């Protein structure tokens, strides 16, 4: 019994396992309720195509929330980076210059966010809300409110590298998102920068006493998030082959939901990137799955809300604390059984 309880405790310590189990259960439910759709490979290739931009944004936001901050400006960075890339492709005929300048634009926005938060001490929720409106306004103004078609991007090497199809089927952007997940996991859990972020999220004053340069770390954090958001904007723009000034507007709540469903603490100090990875695929699969089951009209969002709530509850139950409680109950039951057997007189 002690061995089985120790196994339960071990499972509870595996990062992201609860949310991975929830994702698997969700897909099993969809397979039984919509077998015509979810027993084929096309729906999963569709998820690998559409989820990566949201996943990349969620990975960056996980870092920010782990530090006890919030960044609401990333949807505007998605639009701004998309415009910079598109403009360079159309007018300079150089997608690689556009790629570099788009990443630089994201870094600039993130750096300015960091200055507002770390140096001017503006609360991050207010600073980034203001910059979201500002950079959306800038993007719409310089784009003239018009969308720009870049269908010719499909003939370029950069398109093949970042959003092409491996073996003609598998979307390459899913591999980029997965690789970024692994890289950022090592940065958060095995690098001093990630350690500094978690200390700051737990207690900034203690982090300062320990010798961490809190303002500089925050500026670096927001700059990094700007770069990651710009990369997500590039993936989105290259995949749909068109820029439109309001792209990214509908991503704010789904990205935040992916982070919190994945188990990252809203209070800061703890970030679970593996949970964010699976949480993004849960959020990205929900609408298509619910619609495929035959539920339509005004019921879709209601059912999505119920499923999200159920996912959060299951994540808590299957999380480390929940499994620890189960293992304690198992140990208690084992001890009680042993004592009962010892007190029972032998015939």
The answer to whether 56 and 177 are in contact (CB under 8 A) is: yes
Q: For the segment 156-184, what is each residue's pLDDT rounded down to a tens digit?
A: 999 999 999 998 899 999 999 999 999 99
Quick check: 1 pLDDT over 60?
A: no
The residue that leads in pLDDT, 322 or 210, is 210
**pLDDT attached to residue 262:** 87
Lowest mean pLDDT among 210-219, 289-298, 329-338: 329-338
Residue 242: helix, strand or coil by DSSP? strand
Give the contacts of 113 (CB within 8 A, at least 6 positions apart).
Answer: 71, 73, 124, 127, 128, 131, 222, 225, 226
Taking the C-alpha atoms of residue 76 and residue 55, their distance in angstroms, rounded to an integer, is: 16
275: closest CA among 318, 336, 246, 232?
A: 318
169: closest CA among 315, 44, 83?
A: 44
The answer to whether 215 and 118 are in contact (CB under 8 A) is: yes
**pLDDT attached to residue 19:** 85
Q: For the segment 81-93, what is each residue's pLDDT rounded down to a tens digit?
A: 999 999 999 999 8
Quick check: 60 pLDDT over 50?
A: yes
Q: How confident is the model at residue 311 (pLDDT cuts 50, 70, 90)?
A: confident
Chain centre to alpha carbon of residue 15: 15
Q: How confident is the model at residue 325 (pLDDT cuts 50, 70, 90)?
A: low
Taking the C-alpha atoms of residue 112 and residue 157, their distance in angstroms, rounded to an integer, is: 32
The residue that leads in pLDDT, 309 or 247, is 247
Angle among Cα 226, 198, 255 to the nearest 5 degrees reads 45
**pLDDT attached to residue 136:** 95
The predicted model gives 131-157 an average pLDDT of 93
Taking the C-alpha atoms of residue 163 and residue 173, their distance in angstroms, rounded to an integer, is: 5
Taking the C-alpha atoms of residue 28 and residue 271, their distance in angstroms, rounded to an integer, is: 28
Q: What percent of the chain has pLDDT over 90?
A: 61
Q: Which domains does the chain have, with CATH numbers?
A: 2-336 (1.10.3470)
The predicted model gives 65-76 an average pLDDT of 95
Q: Which residues pair with 242 in a beta bridge?
A: 149
Helices first, then strands: H and E counts in the chain: 16, 4
**pLDDT attached to residue 173:** 96
Mean pLDDT score of the chain, rounded to an integer? 86
Chain centre to alpha carbon of residue 90: 31
The answer to whether 212 and 221 are in contact (CB under 8 A) is: no
The predicted model gives 231-235 an average pLDDT of 96
Q: What percent of the chain has pLDDT over 70?
A: 86
The predicted model gives 108-122 an average pLDDT of 96
Taking the C-alpha atoms of residue 80 and residue 347, their distance in angstroms, rounded to an integer, is: 83
């Amino acid at each position: 019994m002690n061995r089985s309880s120790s196994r339960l405790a071990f499972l509870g310590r595996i990062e992201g396992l609860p949310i991975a189990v929830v994702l698997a259960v969700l897909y099993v439910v969809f397979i039984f309720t919509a077998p015509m759709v979810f027993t084929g490979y096309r729906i999963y290739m569709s998820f690998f195509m559409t989820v990566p931009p949201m996943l990349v944004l969620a990975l960056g936001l996980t870092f920010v929330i782990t530090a006890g901050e919030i960044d609401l400006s990333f949807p505007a960075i998605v639009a701004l980076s998309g415009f910079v890339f598109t403009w360079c492709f159309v007018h300079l005929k150089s997608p690689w210059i556009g790629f570099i300048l788009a990443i630089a634009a994201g870094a600039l926005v993130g750096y300015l966010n960091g200055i507002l938060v770390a140096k001017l001490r503006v609360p991050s929720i207010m600073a980034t809300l203001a910059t979201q409106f500002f950079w959306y306004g800038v993007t719409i103004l310089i784009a003239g409110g018009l969308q720009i078609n870049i269908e010719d991007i499909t003939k370029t090497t950069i398109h093949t590298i970042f959003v092409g199809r491996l073996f003609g089927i598998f979307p390459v952007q899913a591999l980029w998102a997965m690789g970024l997940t692994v890289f950022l996991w090592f940065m958060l859990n095995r690098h001093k920068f990630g350690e500094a972020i978690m200390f700051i999220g737990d207690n900034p004053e203690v982090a300062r006493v320990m010798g961490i340069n809190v303002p500089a770390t925050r500026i670096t954090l927001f700059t990094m998030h700007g770069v990651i958001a710009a990369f997500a904007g590039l993936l989105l723009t290259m995949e749909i082959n068109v820029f439109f000034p309001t792209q990214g507007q509908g991503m704010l709540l789904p990205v935040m939901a992916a982070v919190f469903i994945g188990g990252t603490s809203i209070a800061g100090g703890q970030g679970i990137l593996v949970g964010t990875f699976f949480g993004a695929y849960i959020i990205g699969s929900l609408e298509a799955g619910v619609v495929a089951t035959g539920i339509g009209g005004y019921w879709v969002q209601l059912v999505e809300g119920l499923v999200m709530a159920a996912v959060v509850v299951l994540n808590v139950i299957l999380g480390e604390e929940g499994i620890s409680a189960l293992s304690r109950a198992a140990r208690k039951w084992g001890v009680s059984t042993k004592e009962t057997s010892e007190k029972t007189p032998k015939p």
